[in-house]
Amino acid sequence: MESHFNLLVVDDEANQRRLLVEHLRDLGYQARGAASVAEAKAQLKEGRIDMVLSDFRLGDGTGEEILEFVRHEYPQTPFVLFTAFSSVQRAVEIMKKGAADYLTKPLDLDEVEIKVRNLLRQKTILEENVRLKEQLSPRSGFEGILFQSHAMQELVNLALRAAQSTATVLILGESGTGKELVARAIHQASAHAGGRMVAVNCAALNENLLESELFGHEKGAFTGADRRRIGRIEESAGGTLFLDEIGEISPGLQVKLLRVLQERIIQRLGSNQDIPVDFRLITATNQDLNRLTAEGRFRSDLYYRLNIITLALPPLRERKEDIPGLVDRFIRKYTGSAPGPVTGISRDALHLLMGFDFPGNVRELENLIERAMVLTRSSLLQPEDFPGLKPPAGDSLRDQILQMPLPEAVEALEKARIQRALEDAGQVQTRAAEALGISEKNLRYKMEKYGFRSRRG
C-alpha cells in the first residue's frame, strides 16, 4: 500500500473531486480534496502534501495560481493539471512553468494511476538523491564514486549503511567495475578509518606465498626466511583488511581464514604464539561463491561468515547513464598527459561509447579514453579516435538524425558533411570549402565550432 503518500485533488466540481479522491484512496494513497485556490493553499500549509492534482478553472482563480504557490513554497512537490483536450496547448505552457504533467478531461482513471505512480517514484528518487548527497560529505569516502544511475545510487546507499557497522562485507562484480574503490570508500566512512586499509589480491599469489603474505612468518620458518615478517592481517589491526578475488584461495587457507574470523587470533608461520587481531574484513570476487559452495569448492561455513552484507556492483552496460560523467572525469584526469589540448568529447563519439557494452567495464572505458586522448588530432574526441568500436547495428547517421530534435539534427548533418569533405580533400581546407559550397572563412568557423583540426590549402 502507498499510504505514506498524501495527495491533494483540487476541483470545484464536487462529483469529479469526490470520484478522484475515492479512486486514489482505493489505490492506497492518503487523498483529500479542495474546492478552490484558497482552500488548496490552506491545506498545503497544514501539512505535507506529496502531489497536487488540479483543474485549471476554479471558482476563485486558476490552477496556475496553485502551481506558482507550490513552486515557490514546496518545489519538490509535483503538480499535475487537468485540462480539456482542446486546451492541451495551455497545459504545455503550464508545464514550461513547472508542472510535472497534465491529464485530459474526461479523466481516464487508468492513466491517472500510471502517472501518479511514476511521478511519486521520481519524487522518491529525487529525495533519496538529496539525502545521499548530504551523506556524501568530503570525509565520507564516497565522493570519489561518480554515478547518476539508480542502480549505483541504491548500492552506495547500502554501502553507506554497511560502513556504519563492523559487519563483514562481500562485494560482487565483474572485473573492472570498481570493487576496490567501493571497499576503500567503506573503510574511509567507517569507525576503522583511523587505521590502515590493507589490500591483498588473492589471485596474484600461489598458496604458500599467499599464506606467508597474510599471516607473516618468523625467521627460519622456511628456506629464504632470513628475518621475521609481519603479515597483512596483522598490519590491518585497527583498520580494514580487503581480500580481493577471495574465491581463489585454497581449501587449506579457507580453514585458516575461518579460524581467524571466529577467534580473532593468528599465528605467524613458524610460531605457536597466538597474536590477537582486531580488523574489519571486506572481501570481493568476480566469481559466483554460491555456486562454488554448492560444488564443494568453497567452504559453506566461511561463505556464511563472509556473506553478512553483500554488495553487487552492476556492470557498466547496466548503468550507461554513468558513462558521460565517467568520460568527463577521465578526460580531466589525463589532460596533462595528452599531447594536445583535449577539452571534451563530441556528441557522435559519446553516442558511440553509449552504444558499446564494455566487457571490461569502467577500467576498459578509462583505457579507451586515455588512448584516444593520446592519438586524437582534435580538441574534442571524435568517433575515429575509437577505432575498435563500431556503431550499434542499424544505428546509422540517418537513423540518429531522424530521432534528434531539429537543431541537433542540423548540427549532426553539418558536422558529418564537413568531416567527409575534409577527408575527401586530404584535409586541405580550400578544397573542402569548395566542395561544400561555402567560403574558407565560414569553413574555419564551423571547424572551430565542432572541434576539427586541419591545415589550410
What pLDDT, on a 0 to 100 scale, did the predictor assign at position 409?
72
Asked if residue 93 belongs to a domain, the reply is: yes
Q: Identify whether residues 308 and 320 lie together within a single domain.
A: no
SS3 assignment, position 265:
strand
| CATH code of the domain covering residue 76 | 3.40.50.2300
- Please check whether residues 320 and 369 belong to one and the same domain: yes
Mean pLDDT of the chain: 86
7, containing H or E segment: strand 6-10
- Domain containing residue 375: 316-382
Residue 426 and residue 321 share a domain: no
**Residue 143: inside a domain, yes or no?**
no
Q: Is residue 58 part of a domain?
A: yes
Please report which confidence band the pLDDT of residue 415 belongs to, taking 50, 70 and 90 as the band edges: confident
Residues 305 and 326 both lie in one domain:
no
Q: E strands of 79-182, at which residues?
A: 79-84, 101-105, 169-172
Q: Evaluate whether residue 134 is within a structural domain.
A: no
Residue that finishes a domain, picked among 69, 96, 129: 129
Q: How many domains does the chain have?
A: 4
* CB 149 within 8 Å of CB 169: no
Q: Is the pLDDT of residue 246 over 90?
A: yes
Contact between 284 and 243 (Cβ < 8 Å)? yes
Q: Within this chain, do residues 252 and 348 fall inside the same structural domain, yes or no?
A: no
Residue 308 or residue 76, greater confidence = 308
Given a contact cutoff of 8 angstroms between Cβ atoms, the answer to whether 193 and 141 are in contact is: yes
pLDDT band at residue 306 using 50, 70 and 90 as cut-offs:
very high
**CA–CA separation, 341 and 324 (whole Å):** 19
DSSP letter string, 296-351 = TSS-HHHHHHH-SEEEEPPPGGG-GGGHHHHHHHHHHHTGGGSSS---EE-HHHHH
Distances (CA, A) of 125 to 44, 98, 119, 143, 436: 22, 18, 10, 19, 48
Q: For residues 438 and 306, give the distance between their C-alpha atoms in angstroms, rounded to a whole number.
A: 67
Query: Is 77 found in the same domain as 39?
Result: yes
φ, ψ at 328 (rounded to 5°): -60, -40
Mean per-residue pLDDT for 312-317?
Answer: 94
Is the residue at 391 inside a domain?
no
Is pLDDT of 358 > 60? yes
- Closest CA relative to residue 280, chosen from 356, 372, 188: 188
Structural domain ending residue among the three candidates 64, 94, 129: 129
pLDDT value of position 129? 61
Residue linked to cell 592481517: 233
d(CA 182, CA 311): 9
CATH of the domain at 322: 1.10.8.60
The CATH number of the domain holding residue 447 is: 1.10.10.60
Which whole number is the average pLDDT over 296-306?
95
Q: Is residue 56 part of a domain?
A: yes
Judgement on whether residues 260 and 355 belong to the same structural domain of the protein: no
Whole-prediction pTM? 0.59
Q: Residue 166: beta bridge partners?
A: none
Per-residue pLDDT, 50: 93
Q: How many angstroms separate the CA atoms of 50 and 17, rounded? A: 18
Question: Are 240 and 272 found together in one domain?
Answer: yes
Beta strands in 150-296, from DSSP E residues, in sequence order: 169-172, 197-201, 216-217, 229-230, 240-244, 265-266, 275-276, 280-285
Compute the distance between CA of residue 127 and CA of residue 387 in angstroms, rounded to an integer.
41
Do 299 and 445 belong together in one domain? no
Query: Among 265, 280, 312, where does a domain finish?
Result: 312
Question: Is residue 140 assigned to a domain?
Answer: no
Residue with cell 486514489: 24
The tens digit of pLDDT for each residue in 2-41 reads 457 999 999 999 999 999 999 999 999 999 999 999 999 9
pLDDT at 244: 96
Identify whether residues 287 and 187 lie together within a single domain.
Answer: yes
* pLDDT higher at 202 or 131: 202
CATH number of the domain bearing residue 219:
3.40.50.300
119 neighbors 51 (Cβ within 8 angstroms): yes
* Residue 291 forms part of a structural domain: yes
104-157 pLDDT, tens per residue? 888 888 889 998 998 898 888 777 666 655 555 444 556 678 777 888 888 988
**341 in the same domain as 327:** yes
**Which is it for the CA torsion 41, 43, 48, 51, positive or negative?**
negative
Cell (9 digits) for 314: 552492476
Structure confidence by residue, pLDDT tens digits, 42-100: 999 988 899 999 999 898 899 999 999 998 888 889 999 998 765 667 777 888 888 88
Same domain, 199 and 294: yes
Q: Which of 183, 280, 189 is nearest to 241 (CA)?
A: 280
More confident residue, 287 or 394: 287
